Structure 1
Amino acid sequence: MSAPLWLQFTGQQPKRKRAELACIACHSKKIRCDLQARGGQGYNNCTKCAALGKECRVRPSRRGHSSRTAERPITPPDSNISDPANYTRPYTRSSIKQILIPANQVQRDFTADAQSLEFQPSLLPHHSESPASRSRVFEDEIDGWLSTDPPSQPVASITNATVHVAMTNDSPATQRTERTEDHSEHNDNYPVGHIFLPELQSNARDQERLLAERMPNLPSLPDAALQQSFVETYFESCYPWCPVLDHEHLYEDLARSPLLVNALAAAASNVNPPMLPHDGPALYYDRARSRFYDDEEADVMTSLKAISLFYWWSPRPPTILHRHSSWWWTSVVIRHCQQLGVHREPALNHPLRQQIDLSLRRRIWWTAFARERLTALCQNKPCVIDPEDCTLSEPTLEDFPNSLNKTKAEVFIYWVRLCAIIGRVAKYLARNCTAAPFPVQLARELIDWVSSLPEHLKLPIGSHRTHCFNRDVNQLHLPYLAVIIIIHLKRSTSSQPLPPAYPPAILAATCMARLMKDILARGNTRFLMPISGWYCGTAFIALLQARRIESLAQIVNEDLDILTLAVNQLGKMWPTAAVFYSGFERLRSHAVALGGDGQRPPGPELGMGDGTGYMEMTDGIDWTAYFPFATSQTSGIANRLLVPDTEELFFDDDIFADAMLQFQDLFEPCDTFQDMNLFV
């Protein structure tokens, strides 16, 4: 017989092979079962059984695949994995067989996909043997090749064909995100993920070992009482950050759209779980997601409303790749909007302009825009949206129903404006890894934003007690304080694990601790968005360094306790916050071991003062202008920073860096990783 033709094939192309796992129901009906693929995503049932509400029982395999699991890997275990360019995961004999596909098998299985595989079917050899015999011959040839010495390179060359095995085709549930394993890029602009690498790394391993237990699928929808409570929770806690639903049409939309019902239930039951029996956010989310992917919702705007609500259900941290994160769903919303042309303002003479709900379009589009900008900052990801491509006008009060509390509409409008600035900051930091001075214009934009807030949206933390607490106003300022911390952590190309924090970063961190204290005093953190854990992480880093100053140790510890308590509470809802909580405990315990009583090692006096000696931005910016809401009564640290006549203090970069070098050995186990993805 003629030798098989080997084709160029990468892991990105579809592989059609017999599933190693199949349920009894699908096998009995001779239909394809996706139990194996869904199992890698955390499910314990296939799509067919889930849709019918049946128990999905695995059919015992008779093909003997389990005997291959212990075979020796093709790639030696001591391969250098610190360099992503040289890294390939170990391949067993069975996995190589799945990647090396002979031409006769491709011709049989992929005739319809010939163009996508970029080969000509006319070049494929024709054999008189049966498909089964050809398959056995193919396996015998591969077994013979695999029995020889292991290849030294991840790309194998056989006869006149090349087979690429550098790209894996793992299921998303077992593929770690880029920053979990890639340390090739050295970027200190985003120190938060780098510092909490041990916890994030451990979480990724846990997710790879365990599959989430799922509740049996129940076909019923929430009853009327539960739906009403979910509506109230949405308007109370979610609307200022996701104003995609309107009271006027909401109940009509819910009556005709099971997708929207389940999406709203997933978000609201996670933010404010009812005491009545209900299916829970995980099951509501699964139903909504399945309906979306199955195109069961005919109205595309209703679909966009629904998946915008998925932001409030995050089943696991993004330490492994999965299609459930806010990053994923925000990208889905953006792509759908771009395909529909939502990002462009219709011309005034457009014949269909009067039929388009421009107000709804603006609220959906700018919700996705703001979320993407925040994710770009905290995960160091590139943005999909280019503002220069958008002509859709920014949201105004006219885009909101008259019956709405206008304060919530104003919060959304100013939040979008802030996130636009944050996006520009994130873009600059991602593209500038050196210690060059931060652009003064971006700092001025932040100062202009906080100065433009109307009186009822300003932070009321100028006294010892907060008399006019507004949780939407508090949450509006959390990303503002986080971005100030990020741009005022010293950026350098050194391997120093903890970047020195300048006075604006420390003052922003203590203000964030004050906001969290006000929230905790009122007994509930569940209304906070999932990114709030990352906000606390940025503040923790800045305060941990201020703790090294003897005169600040006690008051800094009080703020650190507040942040730790807040993250502990957030961890009950958001898995990423639980990862941060573990990192907080580790960092503080190590700080105690290294002299954690707050005593700085002998050396020149180190302190606060007005900070004029340190500022990278020298164009006349007064850094206290960031904080028009802060006074000496805001916190103990604020009193030290904002009252310069108490001591003659100033920052010295070299001295501060020397003090921080004591933390160097805390991160030695992590020096092969860099900039983990953190969110949601």
Structure 2
Amino acid sequence: MSTRRYRSAIACQTCRVRKVRCSVSMTGVPCISCEQDQTECILKPRQGKRHSSHSHRQSTTVFPAPRHYVESSAAMRDTANQSNANPSSPDSSPGGEIVPLQDSQAPLDTPETKVSAASSEPSAADEEQLGVEMVEVALGHPRRECQVPYYIGEQTGGPTSTMHICTTDHLIPKHLLMPAAKPTTLTEDEKTFLRRKGVYSFLSDTASDSLIRAYFHNVHPIMPILEADKLLEYHRSKRLKEYNLILLWGLYTISSNYVPAEIYENEGFTSRKAFKAEMFARAVCVYNNGGEKNNLILLQGALLLGFWNSDIEDHMQPWQWSGRAINLCHVLGLHRDIDAIGYNPSITERQRSLFRRLWWTCFWRDRWLSVSLGRPLRINLDESDTPDPLVSDIAVDLEGIPESVTSAFFPRDLPRLAEYWIQLIQMTKLLGKTLMTCYQLRRPKPTINQIDTLEAELMRFNMPEHPDPILSRLATFYYYHLQLHYQAILITFYRPCSVEAPSDLPSYRQREWQQEMQGKAMSAASKTCNIVYALAQGNFFSFAGPMTPTLLVPAMQVYLLNCKFGDALSRRLGLNMLNMCMMILEELQKTYSVASVCRGIFGKAIQQLFPDDAASISLTHSLPEQDVTPVAELMPPPTSIPDTALQLELFGANVTKADFIDALTAEASIFSFVDMLNFSS
């Protein structure tokens, strides 16, 4: 057949003698056959090889530049220029190469074959060997060291179901550790492409130190997806260049929200958003083009990158990254209990802890993204039996870290923050129940018993109204942030109940019951504003994260509805609450574009609903009119107001008042209209 003419251009001496397919062009030295036979793998150059332009073209890079990173923005062009001059770049160091991390990242060293893994296909023997190793591992007789988690799936009749037929004396666990795949080797062209994109232009030690500390203080307590001791060991030993580059640039992306301005200014960036955009660009470039095969690394990277969006065109990026992370969870079997059929000795307690943290972080993102973007739930808990996360899961990889390092990089209230994370996951479960009960497209109308049962579960999460006075400022912020999540869930629950009565509620009770639900939604909105006021008075918004702006939205919508349908006094009170929230968003928009969009949406709504009262709201930067003057503010105005055009671009001049207000206050889309840009940036 014609395909036989396209044999690999390189084979080891042993495979040439045996006249068998050699995997050296894919795996590097040694090839699979030599490794299995424990023989020396020797390469012998082929004779008479022509160095024609055609052969040169065949060895060039197969990875095109991603469309996302065509250098169209001035910020990225400027950053690329400064990256080339950065003294910490590999190009400026002796040798110009990076020593690879053996177990988790694609090596950067070029093998003597200098052949990309993508330039040849695996042989049938290589593919068969994968199946052989699956059965050997399942039966407990692996021939190679096993490192990579593998999930064989359910017994639905697929190929992996055959493993259960191979033994009758014991049950085969569904979670196995497989031998690691041969790492992808990058050609010089591929490395040059990554270098041009800034992937190898590392930040200064001072910037790295600040960003890693910001991660452990502001991100890890609510999204504990990285192994802390490994990251800190690379940082302490000055080997961050050897740490997985997907995780490194992803960490820098999300941590850039919290570092002081001098950190990114010293790296040559004029704004926080430009710095964050460049960190994201480098992370995604190496994610797509770095040849990473470890699904755990890809899962962690997708979660880190899932908080990014910068403009209207990118507003679905978080949804896409979240979907990728959830798919990888299912591939790895993180949705299933590792010990479902008995204790699985092949998985360590440390791995169990990491798997739980990754799965429940994906679950948390799935539920809140579904609410904010108006998209269907991706995770079905009826198909999952992964145990709930534990407080100890966050501390499991801190053992062995010196006390001096722990105190330097971790908040002193980490045990309390771990408890808050557990509470947030439990709250998120109830958010999922609320969405399935009150919002799913094809659902029966809930009964009064279902509503009462769900409300009782929500009430059991009633937290103390005031934080413990001994808490640090960071822990106090996280207490308030947890309260904001809780009040948002309550509003999500009560809003549809105020317009749709249960199926078995007598008609004569419906109006009274709906008014009661409206009152409870208003109470939750009032508590939200009290929390926001406390955060502003205590100057806590420096700790605010990407999800903070959208947690204000449910309460703002309740007050907007109250202004529309209430009496004159209710309208004035509602406008005052909206004004306070608008000023908070004005402060947050210096870091997060979604805050700017929310200001634009609510500013336009207030202008449409109450043109005579618009002057009493702080709308100077949200509306095009030049004669609107703000009232005295709770906080000093920001020095610069970004994203003004972005706030106004969402709405055209031809939108009618009725259509606009109906869309904004539609009960079936509590968050989706306002939160169309999601949690981030």
Q: TM-score, length-normalised on structure 1?
A: 0.53
The equivalent residue for 2:330 is 338
Residues 59-208 of structure 1 correspond to what in structure 2 (within 5 A)? none
The equivalent residue for 1:258 is 245
Instruction: Classify 1:256/1:507 alpha carbon distance in 2 versus 1 (closer, same or farther; 3 Å).
Output: same
Instruction: Classify 1:379/1:440 alpha carbon distance in 2 versus 1 (closer, same or farther; 3 Å).
Output: farther
Q: Contact 2:495–2:521 at 8 Å: present in 1 too?
A: yes
The equivalent residue for 1:289 is 284
Compare 513-522 and 410-419 and name the one that shifted more. Answer: 513-522
Question: Which secondary structure does the structure 1 equivalent of 2:610 belong to?
Answer: helix
The equivalent residue for 1:328 is 320
Q: 1:308 aligns with which of 278, 303, 308?
A: 303
Question: Which secondary structure does the structure 1 equivalent of 2:435 belong to?
Answer: helix
The equivalent residue for 1:376 is 370
Which residue identity does 1:221 align to in structure 2? F
CA distance in 2 between counterparts of 1:419 and 1:235 reads 22
Which residue identity does 1:460 align to in structure 2? H
Is 1:232 the counterpart of 2:213 in the alignment? yes
Unaligned runs of 5+ in 2: 1-55, 86-120, 122-195, 235-239, 270-274, 399-412, 501-513, 617-655
Task: Tell me the matched-pair count.
Answer: 420
Q: How big is the shift at 1:525?
A: 2.6
The equivalent residue for 1:484 is 490
Is 1:430 the counterpart of 2:439 in the alignment? yes
CA distance in 2 between counterparts of 1:442 and 1:678 reads 31
Which residue identity does 1:330 align to in structure 2? S
Q: How big is the shift at 1:577?
A: 2.1
CA distance in 2 between counterparts of 1:429 and 1:504 reads 16
Q: How big is the shift at 1:670?
A: 9.0
Q: How big is the shift at 1:217?
A: 3.7
CA distance in 2 between counterparts of 1:447 and 1:669 reads 31
Higher RCO, 1 or 2 (CA under 8 Å, sep at least 6)?
1
Q: How big is the shift at 1:240?
A: 2.3
Q: How big is the shift at 1:486?
A: 2.7
Note the alpha carbon deviations across 1:411-452, whole angstroms, 9 max, x for none. Answer: 111101111111121123332589956765455445435535
Q: Contact 1:540–1:563 at 8 Å: present in 2 too?
A: yes
Is 1:518 the counterpart of 2:526 in the alignment? no
Which residue identity does 2:246 align to in structure 1? L
Which residue identity does 2:251 align to in structure 1? L
Which residue identity does 1:331 align to in structure 2? G
Note the alpha carbon deviations across 1:138-175, whole angstroms, 9 max, x for none. Answer: xxxxxxxxxxxxxxxxxxxxxxxxxxxxxxxxxxxxxx
The equivalent residue for 1:589 is 607
CA distance in 1 between counterparts of 2:529 and 2:298 reads 38
Q: Contact 1:38–1:44 at 8 Å: present in 2 too?
A: no
Question: Which secondary structure does the structure 1 equivalent of 2:520 belong to?
Answer: helix
Q: How big is the shift at 1:365?
A: 0.9
Question: Which secondary structure does the structure 2 equivalent of 1:423 belong to?
Answer: helix
Instruction: Classify 1:433/1:478 alpha carbon distance in 2 versus 1 (closer, same or farther; 3 Å).
Output: farther
Instruction: Classify 1:670/1:504 alpha carbon distance in 2 versus 1 (closer, same or farther; 3 Å).
Output: closer
Is 1:364 the counterpart of 2:382 in the alignment? no
Q: How big is the shift at 1:243?
A: 1.1
CA distance in 1 between counterparts of 2:254 and 2:199 reads 18
Q: Contact 1:382–1:427 at 8 Å: present in 2 too?
A: no
Q: How big is the shift at 1:312?
A: 4.0
CA distance in 2 between counterparts of 1:229 and 1:508 reads 37
The equivalent residue for 2:8 is none
CA distance in 2 between counterparts of 1:357 and 1:238 reads 20
The equivalent residue for 1:242 is 223
CA distance in 2 between counterparts of 1:585 and 1:487 reads 26
The equivalent residue for 1:550 is 568
Which residue identity does 1:407 align to in structure 2? R
CA distance in 1 between counterparts of 2:561 and 2:467 reads 24
Instruction: Classify 1:286/1:370 alpha carbon distance in 2 versus 1 (closer, same or farther; 3 Å).
Output: same
Q: 1:574 aligns with which of 563, 568, 592?
A: 592
Q: Contact 1:267–1:309 at 8 Å: present in 2 too?
A: yes
CA distance in 1 between counterparts of 2:224 and 2:67 reads 35
CA distance in 1 between counterparts of 2:534 and 2:72 reads 37
Q: How big is the shift at 1:407?
A: 0.7
Which residue identity does 2:288 align to in structure 1? Y
CA distance in 2 between counterparts of 1:566 and 1:52 reads 34
The equivalent residue for 2:381 is 387
The equivalent residue for 2:543 is 527
Q: Contact 1:312–1:530 at 8 Å: present in 2 too?
A: yes
Question: Which secondary structure does the structure 1 equivalent of 2:528 belong to?
Answer: helix
Q: How big is the shift at 1:216?
A: 7.2
Q: Contact 1:362–1:393 at 8 Å: present in 2 too?
A: yes
Instruction: Classify 1:585/1:321 alpha carbon distance in 2 versus 1 (closer, same or farther; 3 Å).
Output: closer
C-alpha RMSD of the superposition: 4.6
Q: Contact 1:434–1:492 at 8 Å: present in 2 too?
A: no
Instruction: Classify 1:40/1:275 alpha carbon distance in 2 versus 1 (closer, same or farther; 3 Å).
Output: closer
Instruction: Classify 1:665/1:334 alpha carbon distance in 2 versus 1 (closer, same or farther; 3 Å).
Output: closer
Instruction: Classify 1:459/1:226 alpha carbon distance in 2 versus 1 (closer, same or farther; 3 Å).
Output: farther
Q: Contact 2:586–2:595 at 8 Å: present in 1 too?
A: yes
CA distance in 1 between counterparts of 2:288 and 2:259 reads 27
Question: Which secondary structure does the structure 2 equivalent of 1:502 belong to?
Answer: helix
CA distance in 1 between counterparts of 2:481 and 2:247 reads 26
Q: Percent identity over the alignment?
A: 17
CA distance in 1 between counterparts of 2:459 and 2:474 reads 18
Question: Which secondary structure does the structure 2 equivalent of 1:410 belong to?
Answer: helix
Residues 8-87 of structure 1 correspond to what in structure 2 (within 5 A)? 34=64, 37-38=67-68
Q: How big is the shift at 1:542?
A: 1.0
Instruction: Classify 1:579/1:401 alpha carbon distance in 2 versus 1 (closer, same or farther; 3 Å).
Output: same
CA distance in 2 between counterparts of 1:322 and 1:590 reads 25
Instruction: Classify 1:42/1:329 alpha carbon distance in 2 versus 1 (closer, same or farther; 3 Å).
Output: farther
Q: Contact 1:519–1:525 at 8 Å: present in 2 too?
A: yes
Compare 664-673 and 527-536 and name the one that shifted more. Answer: 664-673
Q: Contact 2:437–2:446 at 8 Å: present in 1 too?
A: no
Unaligned runs of 5+ in 1: 1-25, 56-111, 113-214, 494-498, 599-661
Note the alpha carbon deviations across 1:302-344, whole angstroms, 9 max, x for none. Answer: 4433332224433235xx4666x22222211111111011221
Q: How big is the shift at 1:368?
A: 0.9
Note the alpha carbon deviations across 1:458-500, whole angstroms, 9 max, x for none. Answer: 331899xx9998111111122221222233235659xxxxx99
Q: How big is the shift at 1:581?
A: 0.1
Compare 274-283 and 358-367 and name the one that shifted more. Answer: 274-283
Q: 1:536 aligns with which of 552, 558, 572?
A: 552
The equivalent residue for 1:417 is 426
The equivalent residue for 1:269 is 256
Question: Which secondary structure does the structure 2 equivalent of 1:270 belong to?
Answer: coil
The equivalent residue for 1:679 is 678
Note the alpha carbon deviations across 1:600-630, whole angstroms, 9 max, x for none. Answer: xxxxxxxxxxxxxxxxxxxxxxxxxxxxxxx
Q: TM-score, length-normalised on structure 2?
A: 0.53
Which residue identity does 1:245 align to in structure 2? L
Which residue identity does 2:480 align to in structure 1? N
Which residue identity does 1:576 align to in structure 2? V
Instruction: Classify 1:305/1:502 alpha carbon distance in 2 versus 1 (closer, same or farther; 3 Å).
Output: same
CA distance in 2 between counterparts of 1:392 and 1:267 reads 27
Instruction: Classify 1:233/1:668 alpha carbon distance in 2 versus 1 (closer, same or farther; 3 Å).
Output: closer
Q: How big is the shift at 1:363?
A: 0.7
CA distance in 2 between counterparts of 1:525 and 1:290 reads 32
CA distance in 1 between counterparts of 2:468 and 2:558 reads 21
CA distance in 2 between counterparts of 1:362 and 1:336 reads 14
Which residue identity does 1:265 align to in structure 2? Y
The equivalent residue for 1:20 is none
CA distance in 1 between counterparts of 2:535 and 2:576 reads 16
